[in-house]
Amino acid sequence: MKSGLLLTAAVCLSIVALGQRMKKTSAEKRPNIILIYADDLGYGDVSCNGAVKVRTPNIDRLASQGVRFTNGHASSATCTPSRYSLLTGQYAWRKKGTGIAPGNAALIIDTTITTLPAMLQKAGYTTGAVGKWHLGIGNNNGPDWNGELRPGPLEIGFNYCWIMPATADRVPCVYVENHRVANLDPNDPIKVSYKAPIGDEPTGKKNPELLVMKSSQGHDNAIVNGIGRIGFMQGGTSALWKDDLIAATLTGKAQHFIEENKAKPFFLYFATHDIHVPRVPGKEFVGKSGMGVRGDAILQLDWTVGQIMHTLDSLHLTDNTILVFTSDNGPVVDDGYQDQAVELLNGHKPGGPLRGGKYSNFDAGTRVPFIVRWPGEAEPGTISSALVSQVDLLGSFAALTRQPLKDQDAPDSFDMLTAFTGKDKKGRTSVIEHAGALGIIKDNWKYIEPNNGPRLDRSVNIELGNDPAPQLYDLSKDLGEQSNVAVQHPDIVKTLSAELQAMKEAGRSRL
Ligand code: NG6
Ligand code: CA
């Protein structure tokens, strides 16, 4: 009888203990998640990946506290499609209209699908988007800059947004907070045209003498803050951003979002403007890299990362926050402004050992800095060669927060949690890279489909990796993709091209 009671008590106690453990585990399954998404930052632009001409101490420290990936990928070699894939878990090349978005594009993400922020919202997260958007805003009539800007980030799962609608080189040069242009004076409405100049406003083309930074290609429409932009705009003077304050403004908004939401699980998508053109770093960074404004913008980006790390530390959130740092595509030096980035490069290699750059099928186009800091889960200082992609963040965080994905959801997104924590050193079986053509990486082989596009983009001086013949590189020996061995390995070409074709036809790669 006595022993029966003891047994019952022991069972009860262990049920309580189990319950507590489960409660703890499920709480632990909802760490905060912050993604710092840099723009046009190359694999070799950070010192933890080997840069020596420019130092990134904060990004290096982040890497030393987490996992640094050497084979981490953006889905595409330009901004809009990479961001589309990251937020939807679908390769962008599957969906028409996901190329580089004009500044007056309508929202390109279907508001009815499962996105990364919408999935996390369902899991109980408060979600925020701060920084560069470039995924369109408004319905098919285009954005109503003086009215309600919807659908936009709030309609695809964000609770809050403070965004630059497209890029800093596209008009209108204003921030949008939730559904409205911030600080807009209704008596000075914004007019935007992507077709023709508005009234007799000066343009970069007509009035180059008014420019503080001349264009090297395009960027000769409206002049805002002395910089020629893509697209014409007039009005909205009180709402215009100041280019040298963009990084400070966005970082402040990101910090504010973290502080406001510190008591509950949150997801922050923080897309920096750095180091995209036009590069106008804050005065504390000007001239500090010795590499011109591109190097100074890298220092400013590194400062941004340090600020976010500091905020997490001071709010005691570091241990319960996953911090991911990566870039939307590879590097470009002259991207359309005469900002002396080429002349002052000083031997720096933005793509590190990789060939190509932004816009390219070669690996510098999509293999980017990729760091995951996850206290308690990822061993600090891990360097991983696992094949990982930004398209997997949705599937992985869905697994973490136990959100079931339906078949049609995130069709290319896998649960890569064990790779993101540095435990699994293999990662994906294969990944598809997207620029002018498609390429596939599998077992360290890289195959690029035949493509008739130009081999070199002269305006940006980047090899695009197009070739009418199939290309095959052995990345285990030839990371710089110098030697096309397709002729020597017809069997591997056949297998990889068949696999790529099958994934295209299936409309999905997640089984
Ligand atoms: C190009 C722009 C370039 C940049 C790019 C988009 C010109 C000559 N070039 O068309 O400056 O804005 O589009 O970059 O206008 S991305 O990182 O947002 O994809
Ligand atoms: Ca970009």
Residue 112 above 90 pLDDT? yes
168 Cβ below 6 A of ligand 1: no
Q: Structure tokens of 186?
A: 């209704």
307-311 average pLDDT score: 99
Sheet with 430-434, strands from edge to edge, namely 430-434, 438-442, 445-448, 471-474
Instruction: Please say which residue of 428, 460, 485 terminates a domain.
Output: 428
Rounded to 10 deg, the angle between the 292-314 and 246-260 helix axes is 20
Residue 359 above 90 pLDDT? yes
Q: Are residues 293 and 393 in the same domain?
A: yes
40 Cβ below 6 A of ligand 1: yes
Spacing, Cα 335 to ligand 1 middle (Å)? 7
Q: Are residues 393 and 485 in the same domain?
A: no
Spacing, Cα 61 to ligand 2 middle (Å)? 24
Q: Are residues 65 and 50 in the same domain?
A: yes
pLDDT at position 12 is: 45
Hey, whose CA ends up nearest to atom 6 of ligand 1? Answer: 100
CATH number at residue 95: 3.40.720.10
Asked, for residue 336, whether it belongs to a domain, the answer is yes
Domain residues for 292? 31-181+240-428
Q: Are residues 458 and 348 in the same domain?
A: no
Give pLDDT tens digits for 261-301.
999 999 999 999 999 999 999 999 999 999 999 999 999 99
Please tell me the distance from the alpha carbon of residue 442 to that of residue 5, in angstroms, as a whole number: 60
Give pLDDT tens digits for 160-189.
999 999 999 999 999 999 999 999 999 999
375-404 average pLDDT score: 98
Q: Are residues 111 and 159 in the same domain?
A: yes
Mean pLDDT of the chain: 95
Give pLDDT tens digits for 51-96.
999 999 999 999 999 999 999 999 999 999 999 999 999 999 999 9
Q: Look at the chain and report how many structural domains it folds into.
A: 3
Q: Are residues 126 and 273 in the same domain?
A: yes
Residue of 90, 127, 126 whose CA lies nearest to 108:
90
pLDDT at position 26 is: 42
Cβ neighbours, 10 Å, residue 23: 10
Instruction: Please say which residue of 399, 428, 457 terminates a domain.
Output: 428
Q: Are residues 464 and 380 in the same domain?
A: no
Cα angle: 332, vertex 337, 338; to 5 degrees: 105
pLDDT at position 511 is: 85
Asked, for residue 25, whether it belongs to a domain, the answer is no
- Give, for ligand 1, the residue of 170, 335, 461 to mutate: max count of ligand atoms closer than 8 Å to Cβ: 335
457 Cβ below 6 A of ligand 1: no
335 Cβ below 6 A of ligand 1: yes
Report the percent of the chain where pLDDT is more than 90: 94
Instruction: Please say which residue of 378, 404, 428 terminates a domain.
Output: 428
Q: Are residues 270 and 218 in the same domain?
A: no
Q: Are residues 422 and 475 in the same domain?
A: no
pLDDT at position 448 is: 98
pLDDT at position 21 is: 40
Q: Are residues 140 and 276 in the same domain?
A: yes
CATH number at residue 460: 3.30.1120.10
Asked, for residue 4, whether it belongs to a domain, the answer is no
Which residue would you say has higher pLDDT here, 11 or 399?
399
Atom of ligand 1 nearest to the CA of 170: 12
Residue 156 above 70 pLDDT? yes
